[in-house]
Amino acid sequence: MKQPRNCLDLNRIAGGAGALSALLLVAWMMPAQAQAPAGRDLRLFYSQQCAGCHGVDGAAQNAAGKKLKGQNLTDPVWRKGTSDEAMVKVIQKGIFFGLAMPGYKKELTLSESQRLVAEVIRQSEKGKVIGKD
Ligand code: HEC
């Protein structure tokens, strides 16, 4: 049977649709991969943004931490005496108009700040580099 002329065109269209759906699949998978770990890596964020003043372990024993009198975030006595809410507030607003410590309202959502306190600061231990295990 002689094929109608437009049969080839149909094949081409079908091939194009295949390529398109492969492309869509890739596009669909990419953001899913980027988000794979539960939310953002806040330990990495700490090591990049906070370690300069609070030390790689949170104990603020580095030169900058000492000079600026950055809070030792690993101090259990201090940690017991302060609430998550108070810490979150400082992280969002900063200290002394951002001069002693910058506020991170733009970089972190409220829930990210809360997670940073619960999952990073509250878990920090003196001598244990944050984000290195
Ligand atoms: C430019 C230096 C600097 C940077 C950067 C910095 N801090 Fe601070 N931070 C300070 C200083 C100074 C204090 C106040 C120390 C004190 O209480 O005397 C402080 C205090 C704190 C406190 C204690 C607040 C309280 O309740 O008393 C927390 C929590 C804190 N910082 C978390 C963070 C986190 C999390 C980051 C990163 C997102 C960060 N800091 C980045 C300097 C800094």
Cα–Cα distance for residue pair 49/126, rounded to 1 Å = 18
Residues 48 and 90 in one domain: yes
Give pLDDT tens digits along the chain (133 positions): 555 555 555 556 556 666 666 655 556 555 544 444 468 899 999 999 999 999 999 998 888 778 878 899 999 999 999 999 999 999 999 999 999 899 999 999 999 999 999 999 999 999 999 988 6
Residue 116 forms part of a structural domain: yes
Residue 62 forms part of a structural domain: yes
Q: Which residue, judged by its Cα, is nearest atom 11 of ligand 1?
A: 70
Q: Which residue, judged by its Cα, is nearest atom 39 of ligand 1?
A: 50
Domain with 56, as residue range(s), is: 42-121
Residues 32 and 46 in one domain: no
Residue 75 forms part of a structural domain: yes
Pocket of ligand 1 (CB under 6 A): 49-50, 52-54, 68-71, 73, 82, 86-87, 90-91, 95, 100-102, 104, 116, 121
Residues 62 and 32 in one domain: no
Residue 10 forms part of a structural domain: yes
Ligand 1 atom closest to the Cα of residue 113 is 35
Sequence-distant (6+) residues with CB within 8 A of 104 are 49, 91, 92, 94, 113
CATH of the domain at 64: 1.10.760.10
Residue 131 forms part of a structural domain: no
Q: What's the confidence (pLDDT) of residue 32? A: 47
User: pTM to 2 decimals?
Assistant: 0.76
CA angle 108/131/58 to nearest 5° reads: 75
Residue 31 forms part of a structural domain: yes
